[in-house]
Amino acid sequence: MSQSLAFANAWNLATTLMVCVVIFRTGMGGYGVMPATEYDGDPADVIYEFDPFQ
């Protein structure tokens, strides 16, 4: 997924589900989005974290 699509999806998930969501770089050169509590990858790959409570 492209970076702009990842940011749009992450913001939508964070505000809809009201959970912290991270955007991370995948090993294949793309970007991924998932709830922060489920991310168990390398912290250095995290690009941004959306916190809907801020």
pLDDT for residue 44 = 94
Give percent above pLDDT 70 in the chain.
100
Apex CA 11: angle with CA 6 and CA 5, to 5°? Answer: 20
Q: Tell me how far apart the alpha carbons of residues 42 and 53 are, in angstroms, rounded to a whole number.
A: 24
Given a cut of 90, is residue 45 above it in pLDDT? yes
Give the pLDDT of residue 1.
84
Nearest to 3 by CA among 27, 28, 24: 24
Check whether 48 has a pLDDT greater than 90.
Answer: yes
> Per-residue confidence at 43, pLDDT binned at 50, 70, 90?
very high
Rounded CA gap, 6 and 13, in Å? 10
Domain boundaries, the chain: 3-50
* Mean pLDDT value of segment 34-50: 95
